[in-house]
Every structure is written in C-alpha cells, then in structure tokens.
Amino acid sequence: MGITNFRQRLISLALLMLSTPVLASTGEETPSDRLAELLDEYDSTTPGLVIGVVKNGELVHQSAHGMADLTHDQPFRIDTPTNLGSTSKQFTGFAIALLASRNQLSLDDDIREYFPELPDFGPTVTLRHLVSHTSGYREILNTLALAGWRLMEGDQFEPREALTVIRRQPELQNTPGEEFNYNNTGFMLLAQVIGQVTESSLGEYLEAEVFEPLGMNATQIRSRSGQIIEDRSIGYTEKDETFHETQDISGADGAGGVYSTVGDMARWMTHLNQFELGGEAVEDMMTTPFELNNGKATNYGMGLYIDEYRGVTRWQHGGADAAHRSHFVYFPELNGGYMVFSNHAGLPAAIPRLVAEVHFGEHFEQETESEAAVDNRSDATFDPDSLTSRDLSRLTGRYELEADPDFILNVFVEEGQLHVQGTGQPALAVEAVTPTEFTAQEVGARFEFHVTEDGSVPELTLHQGQAMKAVRLEDEESEGPSIQDYTGQYFSEELQTVYTVESEDDTLVIRHRRLGAIPMARIRGDRFSGEFPIVNIEFQRNEDGEVTGITAGNGRTSNVAFERFEP
C-alpha cells in the first residue's frame, strides 16, 4: 500500500526503498553477477526475501535469502507466508469482476447504493471509479497520516474508517473518472461491497472462489494485527544501521493484507494464462486499462497495471506495506513471469529488475541509454574519485519538477558524496557515472545535470522510465514575506487536528503533537515544502494580506484546509 507514495510521481514510489546502500561494481558484470552480489547482502543477520520464476505453468526457479524473523532466528524459506501489500489488490479486482460477470453487481453501481451514509458530492462515484483509482475520494492512509496517525509505528484502524474519512472530506478531490490518483480507500470500500453482496467477508469469499480451487492453501488475509499466521515473515525497517521490527498496516482489507508464498502465487500466475476461474469476461475486465473521461487510457485495469516493458506486454503490481515489499510481474505473451517478496523495507529495486533480465532478458528489446547507464553504474573511462568538492558543490541546490511543481529535488553534499532528496522523502546517495551524471541503482534512476559554458547548472533531467526536467530554484528565503507572518496555530475541521508553525533559528518548522517538528523550505511566495506527512504547504491570506489559514497535502491527499486561530 505504501503511505508515502505520491500518485504516479517520478521517484516517489522508488524512494520508499532507500535504506540499502549502493554497492560498488564494474560495468563488465553480467546481470547474473549483479543479482548475486545484491543477494549476497542477505544473510543470517538481515531480513530476507524470496524469488520465484514461472514459465509455461511451471515454477522453474525459487530461492530464499536472509531471515523471516530475526528475533526467533527463523530463516526465510520458500514456503514462508509473507505480506504482499498492494499486490493483494488483484484479488479484490478479480472478486469484483467475478461478481459482475455473474450479474451480482454492476461496475456502474453508485457506491451510495451500498453506503447511503456517504455524502452526495454531486457527480456519481461508481464501483468502476473505485477499482480504477479515479473516484476523487481522499486516500485513507495519507489522510490519516496527515491527521497525526503514526501508521508506521503501529497505529491501527478498522475497515470502516474509510467511510469516516470520506464523510469528513468537504468535496471530491477530482471529478470521478477525470484523474488517476492511486487510492487505497476505494479498494477498502470494494471489500465491504463484496461483503454485502456475498454475505461473507472478503477473505471467506476469496477462500471459496480462488484460494481453495487453485490449491493456494497457504494464502489468507491478515485482517488485524493480532491475527496469527504460523511462521510468517516479520517486517523490518532500518535506521542507524540497525533493523527494527515494524507492524503491518491492518484493517485495510481489499487494499492489502494478503499473506502468501511463492508456490501459491505461482499457481495464481499460472491461472492468469487461461483464467480458468471466471473465463474471458473476467480476464477482459481485469486486463483492460480504464479510460479517463477525456478518452485517454490509464495503465490500470482492475488490480493490475497493464503496460509494456521493453517491447513485452506486462501485467504487474507492486506492494509496500509498512515494511514488506512485493513485486509480481506476468508476461502474458511469454506465459511466464516472476515474483520477489521481501520483509525488508529497503529492498533494492534493482533486484526484481535483474531477476527479469536474468530469466526473460532474451525476449526484451535492447535497453535504452538511460536504462543501460543505471544498470552498468559506471563507465570504465571515468574515475568517480576524480570529482572534486567544487565539482559536486556546483550541482547542489533545489530543482523544481516541471511536470509537478509541488515536487522539489534537493541536491546536497554530505560526507563528500552527492545526495538527492525528493519532497517528503528520505535522502538518497547517488553514484557518479560521468562528471555530470549520477545514478541510484536501487531505485533505477539517473540524474543528468546540465552545465552551461559559464559553469552554472540551471536544470537537471531525471531519467526513470521517462525523461523529466527539473529547473533550479533560486534561494528565496530572504526575498519572501517575513517568516513571522506565518507563525501560529492552525486547525483542520476535516482532520480534527492542530499544527503549529514556529520559528526556530530563523527558519520555519511546522509541529504536530504526535509527529514532532517538521522543517519547512520556501518554494516561492507563500508556498513551502515540508516532509511527510505534511509535504505541500500553502498559506492563505485575506483581502488585507493577513495569513488566515493553510492548504496542505501529501500527494494522494491534497488541498486539506486549516484555519488559523488564537489559542
């Protein structure tokens, strides 16, 4: 699920996975060599992962690495049940498609037919909007985080919290069908719709209609934090070079929570070839990308992303619970695919990409220059140690993404190494491949700095699936309004919570009693950037120029109003 993910924003998803350091290698290594090097980092002192590869209905490769439970010294095994996070959504999508094919519901049903207590925002929100992430509803995980819930530290909620979040939002974030905005709220509602239609829980329905028929005997939904799943993997995050046990996000049935194994998911992947359950009608619903109101197709079906990877059609979904990570990828044209499941929040994104290359690379088109630069990491003719502190310092600064002005890349030097930090994200150490190009192998990104003849750096290009331009921002701290204009307390009626803006050492911080102080950086004028969960901050003024409030957001949840008040 991943509460720090922003919509479909550049490196936002990838930057969830930054705690594993970049490993040195040479450009002459094969994909197998590089994969082995990364897997060697997982041992009896680390969390772990499991890899599975399916070809023509057979599980042709499976391997387990590292530990499932560090406290009890339990290794990760092939049959270790592990949290799939948002990879679970394809089962919810399948259940909705199956019920629709049996005329037990319609994708065009108004959600208020099932939950009349939800507000009438004007435009109708249908089940189709929920399953395609286009409803306009607030994203529950991001909204609760903005309200001060510490979901990564064990705060729990019930499934009906999704209804509470929607009832409290003043208006839709977008017209239904107008915009794709990845949204766990919708899938949680769908799970409850399935419950109403079938008079059973989502878990019970999937057990009867999917898991038992396919022989997925180790697969189940973990609906609450106290639910026991024998020999399951425990999730871990890393801080200060120490692993910390992290609780699952529970109560999000429909959006996540499925625990499974490589063997069981291989059975499900094999099923995708023929759709023995549900047939062609269900296959078409699940694998046809939704079209927005303007006729433009998204790359999302019903619980599966439908796209192309280097010339090969791909059905896939990733998952990011509090600490678990999952990658599930099926190539229908090849009748094969792979999966990587881990209990390590810092799982390098390079691992699933290299698994694909090792086992299916012969079918892929040649890598682009950008992809090759990321994979090879270094040019034999360039010595990264030749870069001086002056070479690095001229690259530093804040760069605004042209396609998304709320997202700022802060580039800085720490302990002699260049780092890049996206708005609301942890900092990422990057590795030089040329004097002006730097890569982050673990997130599959390349940063290309554009240096002019006079030595200035007005912009950079982020290469990650596509080329995205970011323009350098001038330092406006001294040019904007006085920071004293902003200090005070701000209350959100929607979230029922208070933030306090304070001045500390001539800079602004925004403080919440459960979250502590969050530093703020001016973008321009009254617009500031913070850190998750309050990332985008814009102060509002009245006709007299007085600051009266804030609108705030964090990507998936946006434009939440706070009113300034005197305590």
- Tell me the pLDDT tens digit for each residue of 42-77: 999 999 999 999 999 999 999 999 999 999 999 999
Average pLDDT estimate for 143-171:
95
Q: Is the pLDDT of residue 2 over 60?
A: no
Q: Give the model confidence (pLDDT) of 372-393 as tens digits.
A: 555 554 444 577 878 887 888 8
Tell me how long the chain is. 567
Q: Is the pLDDT of residue 312 over 80?
A: yes
Q: What percent of the chain has pLDDT over 90?
A: 72
CATH class of the domain at 376-473: mainly beta
The ranges assigned to domains in the chain are: 22-73+81-363, 376-473, 483-565
Task: Please give, one letter per residue, the 3-state secondary structure of 271-317.
Answer: HHHHCCCCHHHHHHHHHCCCECCCCCECCECCCCEEEEECCEEEEEE
Instruction: Return the pLDDT at 250.
Output: 85
Which pTM was predicted?
Answer: 0.86
CATH classification code of 483-565: 2.40.128.50
Q: Give the integer Cα–Cα distance in Å for 197 and 33.
A: 51
Instruction: Return the pLDDT at 523.
Output: 84
Number of H-type helices and E-type strands within the chain? 13, 31
Q: Give the model confidence (pLDDT) of 532-547 as tens digits.
A: 899 999 999 999 999 9
Could you check whether 376-473 and 483-565 share the same CATH topology?
A: yes
Instruction: Return the pLDDT at 82.
Output: 98
Angle at 375 between CA 371 and CA 381, to 5 degrees: 105
Instruction: Return the pLDDT at 349.
Output: 83
Could you tell me which residues are beta bridge partners of residue 540? Answer: 549
Q: Is the pLDDT of residue 418 over 50?
A: yes
> Which of these CATH numbers, 3.40.710.10, 3.30.420.40, 3.40.50.1820, 3.40.50.720, describes 22-73+81-363?
3.40.710.10
Q: Give the integer Cα–Cα distance in Å for 433 and 445.
A: 12
Instruction: Return the pLDDT at 442.
Output: 61
Instruction: Return the pLDDT at 481.
Output: 80
Burial of residue 561 (number of CB atoms within 10 Å: 0-12, 13-18, 19+): middle
Average pLDDT estimate for 316-345:
97
How far the first Cα of the chain sits from its last, in Å, is: 37
Distances (CA, A) of 204 to 106, 107, 191, 199, 498: 21, 22, 11, 10, 40
Taken in order 230, 231, 235, 238, is the CA torsion positive or negative?
positive
